[in-house]
Amino acid sequence: MEKKIALLAFLSLLAIPAYAQTDSQWTLEQSTLSYHVSHPLHQVDGVSHAARGKGICHAGQCDFLIAVPVKSFDSGDSNRDLHMLQVARGGEFPMLTVRTRLPEDAADSTTIFADLEIDFSGQTAKFRHIPFQLLTQGPVSKISGTIPTTLTDFKIDPPSLLAMPVKNEIPVRVEMTWRREK
Question: What does the DSSP 8-state code read for residue 109?
Answer: S
pLDDT at residue number 13 = 39
**List of residues 6+ apart from 176 with CB closer than 8 A:** 28, 30, 31, 32, 51, 53, 66, 142, 143, 144
pLDDT at residue number 39 = 85
Q: Which helix (H) or strand (E) holds 20?
A: helix 2-20
pLDDT at residue number 109 = 80
**Structural domains present in the chain:** 23-180 (2.40.128.110)
Give the strand pairing for 140-147 and 24-39. Answer: unpaired
3-state secondary structure of 171: coil
Instruction: With 0.75 as the threshold, say if the pTM is over it.
Output: yes
In tens, the pLDDT along 9-62 reads 433 434 333 333 458 899 999 999 999 988 888 889 999 999 999 999 998 899
DSSP secondary structure, 112-158, as one string: EEEEEEEEETTEEEEEEEEEEEEEEETTEEEEEEEE--BTGGGTPPP
Q: Which residues of the chain have pLDDT under 70?
A: 1-22, 107
pLDDT at residue number 18 = 36
